[in-house]
Every structure is written in C-alpha cells, then in structure tokens.
A and B are shown apart, each in its own frame.
Chain A
Amino acid sequence: MSTPVIPAPRRAADDPLLDVRDLVVRYGPVTAVDRVSFTLEAGETLALNGPSGCGKSSTVSAVLQLRRPDAGEVRFEGRELTALTERELRPLRPRMQPVFQDPYGSLSPRHRIRDAVAEPLRVQGRWDDANGPARVAELLDRVGLDPAHGDRFPHELSGGQCQRAGIARALVSEPRLLVLDEPVSALDPSVRAGVLNLLAGLQEELGLAYLFICHDQAVVRHFADRTIDMRNGRIVRG
C-alpha cells in the first residue's frame, strides 16, 4: 500500500510555492487538523491520503482559506495567507483553484459551458470583450472539448466532458495551485484515464502544483510525486 516517497525537488534559494506550517483547524472541541506541516513546489503533485474524517478535507479548506485555520501558517507564493484580510486575499484567490468530485455540481445548470468558464474572469473584473472569447475557446480546446460544447448546458455533456469544463474554468484565472478533491471519482471508468492524462499534461505544460485527494490508491500511486498519510488530524507518514 505504500507509495515511495520521492523527495521534493528543492531549489536552494527559492521558497516553495506552498509552505504549510503547524496548521490547526478546530471544530468546537474537536481538533480536525493537528499541527500539519508540508511543502509543495511548482510542478509537483502531493497526495493527502487517509480515511474519511482524517482531516484531509479540512486541511485543503484551510489551505484555500475557505475555512480560516485556528493556528499555523499557510505561505503561498511567499505570502502568509492567514495574516491577510479577506480583501487582501481576494487578488490571490484566483491563483489557488479547487476542482471537485462532482462535475455537474460545480457548474451552474443554467449557464452555458462557455459562460461558466468565463465567469471567474467576470467576477474578478478581468473580463475583456476583445480577448475573452478567444481565451475561453483556447481553454476549451486545451481541455479536449469541441467549440460546440461551449454552447451546451452541463446536463447536455457527459460527466467526463463536464469535468473537463470544470478544469477549464479553474484554469481561466491562471492559477499556480490546483486543489484536486477526488477529481475522477465520480467519472465512468472509461473516461477516468483521459482526465488524469489531461491533468498530467497541464501540469507539465503550465508548471501547476497539485494538492491531490483520491481514495483510489492505484490512481494515487500513478499520479502523485509524494504522499502524506493522515490519521485523526495528524500526519502519520510523509
């Protein structure tokens, strides 16, 4: 069951892209994440492993600052996120994007795929009528969708196509870090490998860092450079 631990490539002078130190998340009296520390480099995939309730989901929520941690540091691109106000975080959020398990749930059923992919730019006030459409078209193509898919609604696409659209949407704001939370678990077996290949290709091309949660150990062994095992909120190996 063990994944060989491949040491992270370390550039001596450089800070890692993500540096998590002594992270603590509590829910009332329960300590869901108990002094968890790890680093992640650009272009690297780190898997968080462990049974449900082990604290991996709370860890990624705290990394994304969706749930502010109770203690510890989250350094991302050299900035300490826990010290920032919501307003100060706003310009950094596009650089860390989640991709979730349910491909349909993460896209609004009332938006055409093209608009769903463009939406983050609109929300961030970065949409530009001159270049936006071409950027969206380029991304759809990059994730393996036809231009015609852009005009469709999520329910008109297969699960795999929807997940590809979700990845395009995560990429539109030019992130450095993707948090992949069971990204292929809801997909049909015959389309799973294609989405994994796509993610691997994007990482190679764009130097993305992936924080990866997946219960399928064969997928983890194939996909992750390093693995951290968690139990009861703590790192037990990695």
Chain B
Amino acid sequence: MTAAPPDTDALLSVRGLGISLHEVPVVNGLTFDVHAREVLAVVGESGAGKSLTARALLGAAPRGARVTGSVRLRRPPGSYDELVGAPAAARTALHGRRTALVPQDALSALSPVHPVGDQLAAAVRSVARVSRTEARARAVAALDRVGIADAARKARAYPHEYSGGMRQRAVIAMATINEPDLLIADEPTTALDPDLQEQVLRVLGEQREAVGAALVLVTHDLGTVRDHADRVLVMYAGRQVEQGPARRVLDRPAAPYTAGLLASLPPGEPGGRGGRRRLPTIPGAPPAFDRLPPGCAFAPRCPLADDRCRREEPRPRTAGDGHEVSCHRPEDVPHPATELFLERSV
C-alpha cells in the first residue's frame, strides 16, 4: 500500500495508515498529504472510520486501537515528527503547540468548573512563557476575534453560560490561540442548530486563515466541501475511495460511490407533487467494518460491480491531475450519474 514515499513538501504526510480496534481492522491503507494552509475535507458516512482517522492524525488514537503506517508532521527545515509509534509524551508536546483539535462537542472540550477565559489563558501558558496578565489579554482577544461580543466580560463566564454557537466559537478560539500549523476539526458543527452551522464554519475558516494553519475537516456532508475545502478525501468502509481537488471531485467524481452520493442529493428544485420524481439512490447500507465483503467494499451496492470487483480490492490509481481513485472501472462512471443510480423498485 505504501507506494509513494512521504512527500517532503507536505506539512502532514500520511502513508499506509491502518487502524485496528480490538484486532478488527477499521481503517486501511490511507495515503494522503496535507500542505501548509490547505483545507482537506475528509468525507464519509458513519462507520467509514473518519473520526478514528482524525484522532490518529493527532497521535491520539483511543484505547484498544492499533495504529500502523506513518503519520509525519514536518518540522522545518527538512525534518519531521513521526506520530505513529511515538511515545505519548512526545505526542502530547506536539498537540496544542503544532496541532489542535476542534471537536464535535464543545462541552467535552471545555471544563465546566473554570471560566472560559481562564481555560484559554491556561492554553496560552502551556506553550508560551508569558505573564498571567498577558495570557489573559490574549484570551480576551481570541474570544473577540471569533465574534464573541463583550469578550472581556464573557471571558469570566463559565461554559454553561454560553449558548451552543458561542461555545463552539470559544472552542475555535482555544484551538487557534497558539497558532498551530495543523487544525483537525471533527464534524465541528453537527451538534449545532442548522442555522448556526454555516456561521461556525465561516468563523473556523477565518481563524484558520488568520493563523495560517492547514485544516483537516472531517464531515459527512458533501455540501460543506464545495464551500470550505481545497481538496477532498472520500472514505468508505475505512478505505480511501478517491481524493483530489474539491471542485474536480464534486464535478467529475471518478468513483461510483462519490458519484452516487452526489446523484442522490435533492437537486434543490420541486420534485413534482409530493417529491414523486424519484431521487437516485445507492441501494443497501454501508457495511459494518467487521463484516466487510471481499474485493471492493462498495461492490454489494455498486451498479457497476463485476466479478473482478467482488474478488480483488482496487488500488489507488490516477484519475487526472492530483485526482486519485480506488476503483476498477472509473471510466464507466457517467456524468452525471443520475441514471446509473435510479432505483427500479420501491
């Protein structure tokens, strides 16, 4: 799997990343790079292994997980930190200073017993030798930057005194306050009201730009990708399905799975009376990772699957400039793929 050598220009270089949970392989053979200041969206459904991947990128795989392959964070000039197999202390030192997480659930990231400003100030002092007053001033400035009104007063408030949207902003402030090189955001808006999601993504984007960090944005929502990512990595059942420039993948998906996902999105126009104009669908459901089929993991649901697909797992191959697909038959994917996924029954 580890065909390509690590990309020495990349900020983060992932080669043949595998993750097993209690001896069951969940993630397999992920190989991708994230360049400085780049936004990579990692897209997948439940069970695709994207959250586990996000944690492995931070060197923070959960108990019971075995991580193989290589995750390298470039340390200028010309050297790097290897996160797979590194001692916990070394990983912790990187986390917070060079990498930071924007979690799904802000409450889990903030302590309920300390004022928000104190927590931000503590984060500052964990990496920089500055006075309490200075750390505090930076905390208030960070809250102000993410659009929290009356930041000085709000800094003295506790997380439960914040609204959900404000809490998520505070977490973004916390993740960016030490100007990390790499931000990992794991479904950063799914716990929020739909009307707040776009707003919070915008704040995240602005802060990322401001501190010059790269961002790995884990999401199940292809809609988010077009507006917020430079590149996209699509995962299915713990495998990489395709990766490439976001626009290109969305406009000309090379993998049947991506094409099917895109085709099944409602086009945003009236679907006839009661939505009776059928939407294209992908039949079946994603597999449980302990019950993966042989060959291509998508084969049981793929309208293009043939004998080879059911036998042989596809390897990544090029599908154009910077675009890579793991599929035996990408040239047979029509554009758009509507017809291919229109269901005959139901």
Question: B-contacting residues of A (Cβ < 8 Å)?
Answer: 3-4, 6, 43-45, 51-52, 144, 158-161, 188-194, 196-201, 203-204, 210, 215-219, 221-225
Contacts and interface: CB of A to CB of B under 8 A. Distances in A.
Nearest to B285: A158
Contacts, number: 111
A199 B264 CA distance: 15
A176 to B, nearest CB: 15
Contacts of A197: 278-279, 281, 343, 346
B-side interface size class? 35 or more
Interface in B179-219: 193-195
Contacts of A4: 270
The CB with the most chain B CB atoms within 10 A, among A43, A190, A201, A224, is that of A190
B220 interface: yes
Taking chain A's interface residues, is the majority helix, strand, or loop, or is none over half, making it mixed?
helix
Interface of B: 45-46, 193-195, 220-222, 257, 260-261, 264-271, 273-283, 285-286, 301, 343, 345-346
Contacts of A52: 193-195
A144 B343 CA distance: 12
B266 A223 contact: yes
B268 A217 contact: yes
Contact of B275 (A6, A144, A200, A215): A200
Given A45-B274, A52-B193, A204-B276, A219 B266 contact: yes
A196 B274 contact: no
Given A196-B266, A196-B279, A197-B343, A189 B220 contact: yes
A191 B285 contact: yes
A52 B274 CA distance: 24
Contacts of A200: 271, 274-276, 278
Given A45-B275, A197-B278, A190 B260 contact: yes
Q: Which 7 A-B pairs have the closest CB atoms?
A: A222-B266, A158-B285, A223-B275, A215-B194, A193-B264, A222-B271, A193-B279
